Structure 1
Amino acid sequence: MIKRHCAADEWFELLHVLNFDSVRRRMSVIVRSSSGERLLFCKGADSSIFPRIVSGKVEQVKARVEQNAVEGLRTLCVAYRRLSEAEYQEASLRLDEAKLALQDREQRLAQAYDVIERELVLLGATAVEDRLQEKAADTIESLHKAGMKVWVLTGDKMETAAATCYASKLFRRSTQILELTKKRTEEQSLHDVLLELDRLVLRQRSMSGLSVDCLDFGLIIDGATLSAVLKANQEGAASCNYREIFLEISRNCSAVLCCRMAPLQKAQVRERQVRELQIVKLIKASKEHPITLAIGDGANDVSMILEAHVGIGIMGKEGRQAARNSDYAIPKFKHLKKMLLVHGHYYYIRIAELVQYFFYKNVCFIFPQFLYQFFCGFSQQPLYDTAYLTLYNISFTSLPILLFSLVEQHVGVDALQRDPSLYRDVRKNSLLRWPVFLYWTCLGVFDAVVFFFGAYFLFDNTTFTSNGQLALDTHHWTWINHFVIWGSLLFYVIFSLLWGGIIWPFLNYQRMYYVFMQMLSSGPAWLSIILLVTVSLLPDVIKKVLCRAMCPTATERAQVRPRRASRSRNVFL
C-alpha cells in the first residue's frame, strides 16, 4: 500500500519476490496495481542497477549517489519496469520452474532473475546514515595501538567505506592512502600499479627507518581488483608473483580496506570451481602465518567467521547467524576491546605459565631420579617412595598452578584497558617460544641438581621449591592463592607425618617409617632445607631483578605504577 498525503491510498497485490543475494546485490518484487497493471520494482547497489537502466536521469542520480557516498551514507538505487501480460506469464513460468527444480535450484533462480531484471527505468536513489556503534572508534583505535592489523571487508562503495574508516579512526588524517582499485588499474596495468605501490612503501620504510608497526599507510582495494590480482597470480600471467607483492604491501600498512567484497571473497583464498583466491586464507597462508580473528554481525559474514582462527559474532539487528556460527558471541562491538586486551591477555599469560610450569616441576622432580642411578649402580631403585611419586602431581603441586591459571592478574584490568600497547608484550606467542621453554627447563635442571647434591643425605624435597617458584610468579594474591599454595605445603607435611608415623597394616614394609619425624628433629636438616630452597630460587630472582632494572617491558613498567601511586597516597595521608 502507498499512502499519499493529498490523494487516496493506492493498493498493490504482491505477486512474486525475487530475493536479495550478495552476488546480484539487488532484490525485486512483482506487484499488480489496482488498475491491473503489473510492475517490477527493483532496488540494489548502484553498480548492479545502473548497467540495467535504459532510461531515467542516470547522470544526475550517479552524481548524487557519489556525493552521498563521500559523506558516509549508504546508498541504494531504485528502478522499475512495466510488464505486459505475455512478459509476466513468461516471468512467472520461469520462477515457478526454478523454484520447483530438484537440482541446481540456486543457479536456475539466478538465471531467471537475470532475465527478468532488465530494461529498467531509473526512479531515483536513497541514502541512509548507518551510524557507528557506541565506542566503535575507540575500540578500533585501541586494537591499532595493541599492534593488531585491522582489515575491513565490506560490500559498500569505496567512498562510503573510506568515510566510515575515517570516522572509526581506522584511517587518520595523517595516513597515506594507497589505492588499488579498478579505476586505477584501467589507467595503468595491474603489474605497474603493484610495483609502484611496493616501491613507494619500501622507499618510505627505508627512509624513515621505522618498523612495520610504525608505518602509517592505509590500503584501499576493491573486490574486482583483488580477484584480478589473485587470478593473474594463479594463472601465471605475469613474471612476478602478484599475491606476494600484494601481501608485502599489506604487511607494511597499518590498516587495509577491502570494499565491494562478496561473501566468498571474505572467506577463502581459493575456490576451485570459480578459481578465486579469497581474503582470510590468503592472510593465513602468508609467510608470517599470523593468527586471524574475524568479526561480523550478518549472514554474509558467516563464511569469513568460520574460516578465521577465532570467529566472533555480534548479536545485532541483522539476525543471529553470525553469533550462532562463531566461537564467541558479544552483544556490541565495543566489548571486543575488553575481550581481547583484558581477557585475551590474561588467559594467554595463564595458559603459557601453566604449560611451562608443568614441564618445570616435573623436570625438577624426575631429574634427581636420573642422577640417583649413578649412585646406586644403575639398579633401577626408585629415589622416592611410591606414595610420593603418586601424589606429587596430583596433590602436592597441582592445585596452586591450576588456581594460578584461573585467577592470575599480572596487571590490573584498568591498566590493560588504559594502555593497549601492553598487549604487544604477548604478541606472536612470545611466552611459548623455544628460548622461554629452554629457560624453564634449565631452571628445573638447576633446582634438581642443587637439591640432589645439596641434600645428599636428606630426602629430596622438591615440593617446597616448585610451590616457591610459583609464589614468585604470582602477582595477584587472593585468600584462595594463599590457601592453595601454603595449604599444599601443609598437606605435604601432614601426609609425611601420617605416612611415616603410623604402622599401616596393609603395607608389607614401610620405607619411610619415622624418617620424616627424624628429619624434623634435626637442626642441620632445617638449615639445609632453608639454604637449598633459597639457592634454588635465587637465579630466577636475580633474572627478574636484572631484567626489570635494565630492560623492563611495558608490562613490568605498568606493574610498578600502581605501587608508586599507592605510596604517594600514603605519603599524603
Structure 2
Amino acid sequence: MGIFDQDVSEQSSMDCPQLYEPGQLNLLFNKRKFFICMAHGIYTSLVLFFIPYGAFYNVAGEDGQHIADYQSFAVTMATSLVIVVSVQIALDTSYWTVINHVFIWGSIATYFSILFTMHSNGIFGIFPKQFSFVGNARHSLTQKCIWLVILLTTVASVMPVVAFRFLKVDLYPTLSDQIRRWQKAQKKARPLSSRRPQTRRSSSRRSGYAFAHQEGYGELITSGKNMRAKNPPLTSGLEKTLYNSTNWIENLCKKTTDTVSSFSQDKTVKL
C-alpha cells in the first residue's frame, strides 16, 4: 500500500529536488530506524499481552460466567492487534485513495468474518477436532468489558506514537513536513475572489435563413442595400421640389420599363 501513498504533491516534488535526498542517503531506513521499529514492536507486544491479561485475571462476565479462559483471551488479544495495526497504518497514510480505504477498513471486516466463521457450528461440523470452540467469539464480543479492554489496549499502543510524531513535527519538522504545512496553509488562505465568476450568456435572436425553407436576409446582406448612406435632410423648398421631381421621373422610367418587358413577354408567348 505504500506505493499509493503521496506525502506531497507532484508539483512540490518537482520544485524541491531536496525531497529525494533522504532516500538517496538512506536516512529513512538504516540501523537506527530498524532498532526504533524493533523497540516499538516490543512495546506494542507487551501492551497487547499484559493489558488483557490483567483485565481478565479473576473476572466474570455480565452474565456471571467466567470469561478468563484461553480462547476468550486469544480473541480479545487478536482483535486488539488487528485494530491497532489498522489504526497505525491509517496514521501513516498521507494520501487517501479508494484502495487505501478498501484494504485498511476491509481488513477489519475480513478479520471479523473469518473469526465468526471459525467459531460457528458449520465449521465445527466439518472439522470438529480443529474448531472445537463453538460460539466463543460471539460470547466474548458481546461482553462490554471485552470491548473496554480492546479500546484501552488500542489507546495505550497508539498514543505514544501519536505524541512522539506530534512533538517531532512541531519541534523538528522535516522538509516534507514543512511543505505539507505550506500546502495546507495555501488551501486555507486561497481567496474566494480568485475564482473566476461564471457568467451566464444571454440568448440572442439570430437569423437562420441558411436553414429555413423561405428566403431570408441573404440577398439583402449580399446586395449591400442596408449599407447605403441615408439621404441628407432637405432644408430648402427648392431642394424638396427637385428631389420630388427626380423621384417622379425614376418611378415613371421604372413603370415604362416594366410595361415594355411585359409586352415583349406576351408577344413572345403568342408567337
* 1:568 counterpart = 2:165: no
- Structure-2 separation of matches of 1:540 and 1:429: 22
C-alpha contact (below 8 Å) 1:425/1:555 kept by paired residues: no
1:496 alignment counterpart:
115
Q: How does 1:370-409 map to 2 (within 5 A)?
A: 404-409=1-6
1:419 alignment counterpart:
16
Q: How does 1:6-405 map to 2 (within 5 A)?
A: 404-405=1-2
- Structure-1 separation of matches of 2:43 and 2:192: 42
| Residues 305-350 of structure 1: CA deviation (Å, up to 9, x unaligned) | xxxxxxxxxxxxxxxxxxxxxxxxxxxxxxxxxxxxxxxxxxxxxx
Cα RMSD, aligned residues only: 1.8
Considering Cα pairs closer than 8 Å and 6+ residues apart, tell me whether 1 or 2 has the greater RCO: 2
Among 485, 507, 530, the alignment partner of 2:127 is: 507
- Structure-1 separation of matches of 2:36 and 2:46: 15
C-alpha contact (below 8 Å) 1:416/1:422 kept by paired residues: yes
- Structure-1 separation of matches of 2:137 and 2:11: 48
2:36 alignment counterpart:
439
| Residues 370-397 of structure 1: CA deviation (Å, up to 9, x unaligned) | xxxxxxxxxxxxxxxxxxxxxxxxxxxx
- The Cα of 1:556 is off from its aligned counterpart by 1.1
* 1:553 counterpart = 2:150: no
- The Cα of 1:570 is off from its aligned counterpart by 7.1
C-alpha contact (below 8 Å) 1:503/1:513 kept by paired residues: no
- Structure-1 separation of matches of 2:106 and 2:89: 14
C-alpha contact (below 8 Å) 2:22/2:28 kept by paired residues: no
| Residues 474-508 of structure 1: CA deviation (Å, up to 9, x unaligned) | 10101111111100000001111121122422313
- The Cα of 1:571 is off from its aligned counterpart by 7.4
The structure that is helix-richer by fraction is 2
- The Cα of 1:412 is off from its aligned counterpart by 1.2
- The Cα of 1:511 is off from its aligned counterpart by 4.3
2:106 alignment counterpart:
487
| Residues 278-310 of structure 1: CA deviation (Å, up to 9, x unaligned) | xxxxxxxxxxxxxxxxxxxxxxxxxxxxxxxxx
Aligned-residue sequence identity (percent) comes to 24
2:160 alignment counterpart:
539
Change (3 A) 1:420 1:523: same
Q: Secondary structure at the match of 2:96?
A: coil
The structure that is strand-richer by fraction is 1
* 1:451 counterpart = 2:48: yes
Change (3 A) 1:405 1:513: same
1:465 alignment counterpart:
84
Amino acid corresponding to residue 178 of structure 2 in structure 1: R
Q: Secondary structure at the match of 2:128?
A: coil
Change (3 A) 1:512 1:546: farther
- Structure-2 separation of matches of 1:512 and 1:464: 23
- Structure-1 separation of matches of 2:24 and 2:173: 16
2:210 alignment counterpart:
none
What is the aligned residue count?
170
Q: Normalised by the size of structure 1, how large is the TM-score?
A: 0.29
2:94 alignment counterpart:
475
Change (3 A) 1:496 1:571: farther
1:375 alignment counterpart:
none
Q: Secondary structure at the match of 1:431?
A: coil
Q: Which runs of 5+ in 2 are unaligned?
A: 57-72, 196-271
Displacement over 4 Å in runs of 4+? 570-573
Amino acid corresponding to residue 529 of structure 1 in structure 2: I
The structure number with the bigger radius of gyration is 2
- Structure-2 separation of matches of 1:425 and 1:559: 16
Question: Which moves more between the two structures, 494-503 or 563-572?
Answer: 563-572
C-alpha contact (below 8 Å) 1:447/1:536 kept by paired residues: yes
Q: Normalised by the size of structure 2, how large is the TM-score?
A: 0.59
| Residues 162-211 of structure 1: CA deviation (Å, up to 9, x unaligned) | xxxxxxxxxxxxxxxxxxxxxxxxxxxxxxxxxxxxxxxxxxxxxxxxxx
Among 141, 146, 160, the alignment partner of 1:520 is: 141
Amino acid corresponding to residue 468 of structure 1 in structure 2: V
